[in-house]
Copies of this chain bind each other. A is one copy, B any other.
Amino acid sequence: MHLTSEHLHDDGVLERDFTVGEIPGTLWTPASTPAPLLLMAHNNGLPRTDARLVARARFHAAELGYAVASVDAAGCGDRPRSAAQEHARAEFRRAMQSGGPSDEVFETFIGPLVEQAVPDWRTALDALLALPEVDGPVGYSGWAAVGIRLAVSEPRIAALGLFAGGYVPQAQREEARQVTAPLLLLLQWDDEGNPRERALDLFDAFGSTQKTLHANPGGHLGTPWFEAQDQGRFFDRHLR
């Protein structure tokens, strides 16, 4: 792991960019370490520098005392991408803007992204847990499909805080039955891009004996502020 930049915020959070091989990431650590680790990913390969993800990461570090890390998925964020990836991404964005992608567009673009992302997260996890300021056990927060894939292949994931879940590739919808880690699934009741019935079916499918669903009215970006605190308490129950 190479640390490529470092910034100490006024709230005591140390923000550092890193690379592990070809994988670029950011680590936010609280003033008091060692701290348990949260892996935080934004849905569908949004960059780790996205303002909402950064705000969530800094809240969990500053207010809740977690070390938080995020990496860019292949072809996303700071990573090089092929012309084919650019084309697929443009097509996916067009479909999202016109009322949600078809299952075919979704599977073609997101399916491989999920499959490729998980080995990267595991590589980053190995490097992060070797740092003296990072401690196990490990939680995962955010992008539902990657969380499912990671949870079934990575026994170090001890708790999952997932968001949305209306659109999840078929492979991960099936894998959800094998997930046994405690789960908090947060969804927006009127999420235009994530059909409610599919999200409820996904919650039903999880194999975890401890699983909780939270839902609030409004669209994809309308999650109320107290849900970040609720997620923090969920992680506190399982990671501390």
Contact = CB atoms under 8 A, between A and B. Distances in A.
Interface of A: 189, 200, 203-204, 209-217, 224, 226, 230, 233, 237
A212 B204 contact: no
B215 A212 contact: yes
A106 to B, nearest CB: 25
Contacts of A189: 203-204, 213
Given A189-B204, A200-B200, A213 B211 contact: no
Contacts of A217: 209, 211
A189 B211 CA distance: 10
Most chain B CB inside 10 Å of its own CB: which residue of A204, A210, A215, A224? A215
Contact of A213 (B210, B214, B224, B230): B214
A93 to B, nearest CB: 30
Contacts of A215: 203, 212-213
A149 to B, nearest CB: 22
Given A226-B237, A230-B230, A212 B203 contact: no
11 contacts: A189-B203, A200-B200, A209-B217, A210-B224, A211-B217, A212-B216, A212-B224, A213-B216, A226-B233, A226-B237, A230-B230
A215 to B, nearest CB: 4
Contacts of A237: 226
A201 to B, nearest CB: 12
Contacts of A212: 214-216, 224
Contacts of A214: 212-214
Contacts of A230: 230
Q: Which 6 A-B residue pairings sit nearest by Cβ, starting from the closest?
A: A213-B215, A212-B216, A211-B217, A214-B214, A212-B214, A226-B237
A53 B200 CA distance: 30
A237 B224 CA distance: 12
A166 to B, nearest CB: 15
A224 B213 CA distance: 13
Nearest to A200: B200
A41 to B, nearest CB: 24
